[in-house]
Structure 1
């Protein structure tokens, strides 16, 4: 009697690909380029500028401090851009908030001053949101006009003069205070980033923002009130800018219409660098944080390398162009 033997199946390969190949296969280079870029820039500056104090604790904390306010503005901007809108008024809102808080503190005291400053964000955000969401005026035009209005009002009521803030409590809480060695500005920034990241990725509102930005018509058919979503994101952006204005006032111990000027460009660049799609539908608050840190890192490195402010502006413009180019196919 003959027996037949069936061939044994080949043993599964027990060896796996190298770890770096597994990591590379999981990377979405367009999505994760900000993290790669941050590491590369940090290493380059650490090598080239290490003997100039780049890696010192003081300098690294200084980078965090300098980027904290832009990060806060950029978190609000992340919601706006993820919703396929834009807000160009954030810098002017910050300046108007700073002089409003300074004048109110001088006249009425600490708490009324803080409330008055935050009220600027509520009012301007409501105006922007109503015009964009309910009258359906393009957000670019609305916020471009509001940029001029807010800056003009701030300059007009102060006659271009700075408004000093002598309240030590305000200055300590909103800018100049530290918790241990950690600057208070970094604490404020960390809290805003944490809240923004949770809301955008985990909360129902965040999912509705992304759905509205991806396809407004489809979002409406699924039951999302897209007008309310657009109104709210404009409010969030204005409130973040208003908080930034208070931090400017506390850090610089004065209110001035120039505070925040140009921050809208830095915030937009940080958001796009961080992986938020310029056309809407995709957003990352953590990516925005790294986008802001990357810009702060570059500015700090350029200063240590001896470049002046005009050269830094050129580099910043190049970064914005690269950010838009990277976002084209998102």
Structure 2
């Protein structure tokens, strides 16, 4: 069997592999740039519209006055309370939603190629469970709460779980099956530790607060945490995009990737580190938000094709738009009570994922 025939057979069987050895249909550079700019404009409009949404309505004029004040323009400022509501609470929250959505969507696309598993998502490596255990330990037991805080504890737990993953894989190699199985085991371990700490606390109020965080919420977002994500996320997305050709090869399988000159082990290690860091930062700041990294890559792959140099940028934009609007819905759907955004993503994600599978002929 020729290499081209093998690649074609692999693509037919693998939902995340490029569909055949030939080049994808070429779009003109102008059309491609125009489509990307349109998607970026949709994201910008979504951010602006989502900032206005909430219990206190802020019109477009009021929003312009907030930005004009910050830019030093000669505009009448909003009342201090409303100005602070927009600038200090809503805008960081919406920007955080965009950054986290982009991170999770790209991590999902990367891991689906690395593991050749269509059900892979950013939490496959057990990082989310480690972050949850770290955050719960800090909050419930008060270990270093004054210095670390919830974000620091979650980040420490996430890095600990990823370090344990690499330790367990150091001799067995980075085979995709072993990555999945080891990640599941580590996730279950840290989930059990989280439950143990919660049971030992015997504090109903603390348990309720921690449970709300575990379901994912943008409410803790502030400018300092946005600044951290604004540095880490672009760097991680750029690193993943630079590995686009390697991801295309890995989607066909280890043998095909090696025949293309890809250092499979080192590339997998780099991509695992990138996805782990992006996921750790996201979970540490806003909690575990499911389905974004699972459904967005499949939907974008259906629209723009499987080549990762195109897939990853559009997945980032689509994930950002999806989470911005999902968080806006979480704020107002059951007002005045706010629902954790992870609940909304799950409620929306299940039917969307089933629809994607049906469109692909896999259901």
TM-score category (smaller protein) = 0.5 to 0.7
1:321 deviation in Å?
3.9
- For the structure 1 residues 267 and 234, does the alpha-carbon distance in structure 2 shift closer, same or farther, using more than 3 Å as the test? same
CA contact (8 A) 1:69 1:244 kept: yes
**SS state of the match for residue 159, structure 1?**
helix
- Asked whether the 8 Å contact 2:97–2:327 carries over to 1, the reply is no
Match of 1:265?
Answer: 291
What is aligned with 2:268? 230
The number of aligned residues is 277
- Whether the aligned pair in 2 keeps the contact of 1:82 and 1:213 (CA below 8 Å) is yes
Please name the residue that 1:208 is paired with.
246
Residue 351 (structure 2) aligned to one of 280, 301, 318: 318
Cα deviation for residue 301 of structure 1 reads 4.3
Per the normalisation by structure 2, the TM-score is 0.55
**Partners of 2:178 and 2:305 in 1: how far apart?**
14
Relative contact order, higher structure (CA 8 A, sep 6+): 1
Deviations 1:109-137 (A, max 9, x none): 65996984454143244157559854552
Identify the residue that residue 170 of structure 1 maps to in structure 2. Answer: none
Deviations 1:182-241 (A, max 9, x none): x22332222223212322333xx5532332224432211133232343344334333333
Shift of 1:316: 3.4
The yes-or-no answer on 1:26 pairing with 2:70 is no
* Cα separation, partners in 2 of 1:230 and 1:325, compared to 1, 3 Å: farther
Q: Is the counterpart of residue 243 in structure 1 residue 281 in structure 2?
A: yes
When Rg is computed on C-alpha atoms for both structures, the one with the higher figure is 1
Q: 1:96 to 1:201 in 2, by over 3 A?
A: same
Contact 2:134 2:153 in 1 (8 A): no
* 1:35 and 2:48 are equivalent in the alignment: no
Task: Measure, in 2, the Cα distance between the counterparts of 1:312 and 1:119.
Answer: 25
8 Å CA contact 1:82–1:209 kept in 2: the answer is yes
Where do 5+ consecutive residues of structure 2 fail to align? Answer: 1-26, 67-85, 208-218
Matching residue of 1:62: 93
Q: After TM superposition, give the deviation of residue 152 of structure 1 in Å.
A: 1.0
Q: Is the 8 A contact 2:131 2:154 kept in 1?
A: no
User: Which whole-Å deviations, capped at 9, do the CAs of 1:121-157 have from their partners, x for residues lacking one?
Assistant: 4324415755985455265544334332221122224
Report if aligned partners of 1:200, 1:206 keep a CA contact under 8 Å in 2.
yes
Deviation at 1:295, TM superposition (A): 1.9
Give TM-score scaled by structure 1 length: 0.60
- Cα distance per residue 1:59-105 (max 9 Å; x no partner): 45432234544544444434322423424334323212324566695
Distance change (3 Å), C-alpha of 1:301 and 1:37: farther
Residue by residue, what CA displacement relative to the aligned partner does 1:16-64 show, whole Å, maximum 9, x if unpaired? Answer: xxxxxx99982599x9699289469949x78x97994486472454322
1:156 aligns with 2:161: no
- Range with bigger deviation, 149-158 or 122-131: 122-131
Contact 1:73 1:241 (C-alpha < 8 Å) held by counterparts: yes
> Contact 1:133–1:231 at 8 Å: present in 2 too?
no
Structure 1: gaps of 5 or more residues: 1-21, 164-174, 249-258
CA distance in 1, matches of 2:59, 2:346: 21
**CA separation in 1, counterparts of 2:162 and 2:344?**
37
Of residues 318, 333, 340 in structure 2, which corresponds to 1:306?
333
